[in-house]
Amino acid sequence: MIISRTPFRLPLGGGGTDLPSYYREHGGFLVTAALGLHMNICINEPVMLNQIKLNYSHTECVNLEDLDQIRHEVVRETLKYLKWNKPLEISSMADIAGGTGLGSSSSYTVGLLNSLNSLLRRHISVQELAEEACKVEMELIGKPVGKQDQYAAAFGGIIALDIDRTGKVIVERLDLEKEFLAELQHRLMIFYTNIQRDANEILGEQQTQILKKNNQHSLEAMHKIKSIGFEVKEALEKGNIEALGQLFHEHWLEKKRISSKMSSSRIDEWYELAIRSGAIGGKVMGAGGGGFFVFCCKQGKRQALRAALEGADLKYAQCTFDFEGSKIIGNF
């Protein structure tokens, strides 16, 4: 039995430039972090069972020769990619539900690959693990996603990703002072909107808008978001949390220019409430349309901001960073 633990991700700046529709023409740059919220996957090779059994929000059981019958697309394509031919049981538990903007699907993919590679004694680097997860999601399944989530889940920590036009990724770990990291975790506040949404639908529209040759409006917004990624890196390295909060605000305004599905009147109302209650800036994480907000609050305004948003029925979640990335925590 092997148990893996893989973090979810917190986008800090430049998100969206990791989509192929953008980086293949312009190159991408973003800063992302791994959260202290996790996807846990347990795999086991049963002695008596001659099937593949899955336990997630549903239960599936298929014969070894019928991998194409697996409904869970990540499991199906991962097992086919690894040419799996042995009985297997896969169970998963997560700190946060899917469809909430924290990259849970990619965390699942990274964690599953990490577990199966460990079972196979197939030793690969962290970057190879991230790229295999990208291959499964982007190529084999064909999801309209980018590379941010898989890299954040695999590497952990706070990292900058420089993506060239071929899709090659250079990873830079940001070396930030411990005192600043503690203050950053204190000043960043995460709230759940109670809205689950289909990220693939929103990301698909975003890629369509970017690819439209006459849609200069969306392309200019993406160029601005990329420049914000560089500015976020600089703000973090200088320990300037106020600048980071303002960059969150600018990022959110640009993000809303790309797709009408990024926000809604209710989301906009919550955002304005947060700004009035002590947030410097913030944004909806991931594809948008719901899921989690992240806000950077003013010094001494945590209590007021939390009270205001919880009073509007949003749910608070503690922001902590994970610096280990996907790891095997049990091998029995």
Where among 152, 176, 200 does a domain terminate? 176
Shared domain for 132 and 212, answered yes or no, is no
Lowest mean per-residue pLDDT among 117-126, 248-257, 258-267: 258-267
pLDDT at 195: 85
pLDDT band, residue 205 (cuts 50/70/90): low
Mean pLDDT of the chain: 92
Shared domain for 14 and 142, answered yes or no, is yes
End-to-end CA distance of the chain: 5
Largest CA distance in the chain: 61
Residue 211 lies in a domain: yes
Distance CA 152, CA 318 (A): 18
Residue 172 lies in a domain: yes
Distance CA 290, CA 71 (A): 25
Lowest mean per-residue pLDDT among 134-143, 212-221, 274-283: 212-221
Asked whether the beta carbons of 33 and 248 are under 8 A apart, the reply is no
Distance CA 275, CA 307 (A): 13
Kindly state the percentage of the chain with pLDDT values over 90.
Answer: 82
In this model, does residue 157 exceed pLDDT 80? Answer: yes
Residue 221 lies in a domain: yes
Shared domain for 197 and 264, answered yes or no, is yes
In this model, does residue 308 exceed pLDDT 80? Answer: yes
pLDDT band, residue 19 (cuts 50/70/90): very high
Shared domain for 166 and 189, answered yes or no, is no
Q: How many domains does the chain have?
A: 2
Helix, strand, coil abundance in the chain, percent, nearest 5: 45, 25, 30
In this model, does residue 1 exceed pLDDT 90? Answer: yes
- Give the structural domain span for 31: 2-176
Residue 283 lies in a domain: yes
Shared domain for 236 and 249, answered yes or no, is yes
In this model, does residue 206 exceed pLDDT 80? Answer: no
Residue 325 lies in a domain: no
In this model, does residue 223 exceed pLDDT 90? Answer: yes
Distance CA 105, CA 108 (A): 5
pLDDT at 196: 74
Where among 135, 156, 176 does a domain terminate? 176
Where among 136, 153, 176 does a domain terminate? 176
Shared domain for 29 and 64, answered yes or no, is yes
pLDDT band, residue 101 (cuts 50/70/90): confident
In this model, does residue 207 exceed pLDDT 80? Answer: no
Shared domain for 287 and 222, answered yes or no, is yes
Kindly state the percentage of the chain with pLDDT values over 70.
Answer: 94
In this model, does residue 106 exceed pLDDT 60? Answer: yes
Shared domain for 52 and 127, answered yes or no, is yes
pLDDT at 204: 52
Hey, what long-range contacts does 269-274 have (CB within 8 A, 24 or more apart)? 270/193, 270/309, 270/312, 270/314, 273/308, 273/309, 273/312, 274/305, 274/308, 274/309
Distances in whole angstroms, Cα of residue 229 to Cα of each of 110, 112, 144, 149, 248: 24, 29, 21, 15, 10
Residue 147 lies in a domain: yes
Beta strands in 2-119 (DSSP E): 2-13, 28-44, 51-55, 59-63, 88-94
Shared domain for 38 and 155, answered yes or no, is yes
pLDDT at 257: 82
Overall average pLDDT of the 20-27 stretch: 94
In this model, does residue 183 exceed pLDDT 90? Answer: yes
Distance CA 295, CA 279 (A): 6
Task: Look up the CATH number of the domain holding residue 228.
Answer: 3.30.70.890
pLDDT band, residue 178 (cuts 50/70/90): very high
Distance CA 90, CA 71 (A): 14
Shared domain for 14 and 162, answered yes or no, is yes
Distance CA 163, CA 30 (A): 9
Find residue 292's DSSP bridge partners: 192
Q: Cα 47 to the chain's mean position, in Å?
A: 36
pLDDT band, residue 287 (cuts 50/70/90): low
Residues 6 or more apart whose Cβ sits within 8 Å of residue 4: 40, 41, 111, 112, 114, 115, 118, 326, 327, 328, 329
pTM, 2 dp: 0.93
pLDDT at 281: 97
Shared domain for 207 and 289, answered yes or no, is yes
pLDDT at 48: 72
pLDDT at 243: 98
Shared domain for 9 and 148, answered yes or no, is yes
H/E stretch holding 200 reads helix 199-211
CB atoms within 10 A of CB 328: 15
Task: Look up the CATH number of the domain holding residue 108.
Answer: 3.30.230.10
269-282 pLDDT tens trace? 999 999 999 999 99
Residue 329 lies in a domain: no
Residue 330 lies in a domain: no
pLDDT band, residue 209 (cuts 50/70/90): low
